[in-house]
Structure 1
Amino acid sequence: MPQHEIQYLQEMGIQCYELTHPERLQGYQSPTLVLQASCQLLLISPQCPKKETALLFERVLKSLKLELNQSLHIYPEQLDQLSEPFTGWVWFAGCDVPIDYEGKVLTTPLIHLIDGNNELRRALWQQICSYQ
């Protein structure tokens, strides 16, 4: 990376690293994620639901007639690690949806922003209803 680009990123507060031995990564492949057959909803979000957001997440699952053990949370950067395309419900919360992604896709802001916001909850419910 040219020095002027590194300086620009540093001015924005973004740390830059340069690999000392990039050849050591040659042939490296990140591990693949194999989903259990029981997984019916994949939550893709930079934040894992906890406390109040976990309660909202469970309510959404119940509206889909799913149990907590039928869902899985992954971070957006892990989407490319799936061993095969996922065909169940996919909820992108607080992250972008890949342009070519097909299936039962829900898109919302982060879950903690939905809790207590009737407009966002209504929009989520309308998305769910559009598939049923």
Structure 2
Amino acid sequence: MRNEPMAYLSEMGIDQYQLIHPQRLSGYQAVSITLPSDCKLLLVSAVLPQGDQAEFLDRVLKSMQLTLAQVRHIYPHQLPQLEQPVEWVWFAGCASTELPSKVLNTPLLSDIDGNNAERKALWQQICSYS
């Protein structure tokens, strides 16, 4: 689920930047994002879940009969690069778009964990697809 090169740079204390609007560069061709066939849920968030957030995500996934191995994370600006649909798309802390998937809309994971009202709202969204 981690973006390994970015994680390594972060661990080494090296600043990293991503273009928010790469299409504005003359001649730039955005790289398409192809998800592995076992990916069942795409987490779209400006924050990569780590530590407590990853543990919370794992608990939610278990209730959905999914595992962390079946989840991929992308940043919101990468969504237009997505090539194929996925069963679930979870927008956490960012605006959602219309997709041919089961869509969850929530605040950031850190804002849901420990907040009973937000956890209930998430659970109701998940159950609405049953």
Please report the TM-score for the alignment, with normalisation by the length of structure 1. 0.77
CA apart distance, 1:47: 0.2
Whether the 8 Å CA contact 2:38–2:70 is kept in 1: the answer is yes
Report the Cα distance in structure 2 between the residues aligned to 1:101 and 1:83, rounded to whole angstroms. Answer: 12
Report the Cα distance in structure 1 between the residues aligned to 2:44 and 2:109, rounded to whole angstroms. Answer: 11
Written as runs of structure 1 = structure 2, the 5 A alignment for 1:61-100 is 61-84=61-84, 86-98=85-97, 100=98
Report the Cα distance in structure 1 between the residues aligned to 2:107 and 2:26, rounded to whole angstroms. Answer: 37
- Give the aligned residue type for 2:45: S
- Give the aligned residue type for 1:80: P
Report the Cα distance in structure 2 between the residues aligned to 1:87 and 1:94, rounded to whole angstroms. Answer: 19
Report the Cα distance in structure 1 between the residues aligned to 2:28 and 2:53, rounded to whole angstroms. Answer: 36
Report the Cα distance in structure 1 between the residues aligned to 2:26 and 2:50, rounded to whole angstroms. Answer: 38
- The share of aligned pairs that are identical, in percent, is 53
- Uncovered stretches (5+) of structure 1, i.e. residues with no partner: 1-24
Q: Match for residue 105 of structure 1?
A: 103
Alignment length, in residue pairs?
106
Greater Rg over alpha carbons, structure: 1
Cα RMSD of the aligned pairs, angstroms, is 1.0
- Uncovered stretches (5+) of structure 2, i.e. residues with no partner: 1-24
Report the Cα distance in structure 1 between the residues aligned to 2:49 and 2:80, rounded to whole angstroms. Answer: 21
Report the Cα distance in structure 1 between the residues aligned to 2:56 and 2:71, rounded to whole angstroms. Answer: 14
Please report the TM-score for the alignment, with normalisation by the length of structure 2. 0.78
Report the Cα distance in structure 2 between the residues aligned to 1:123 and 1:32, rounded to whole angstroms. Answer: 33
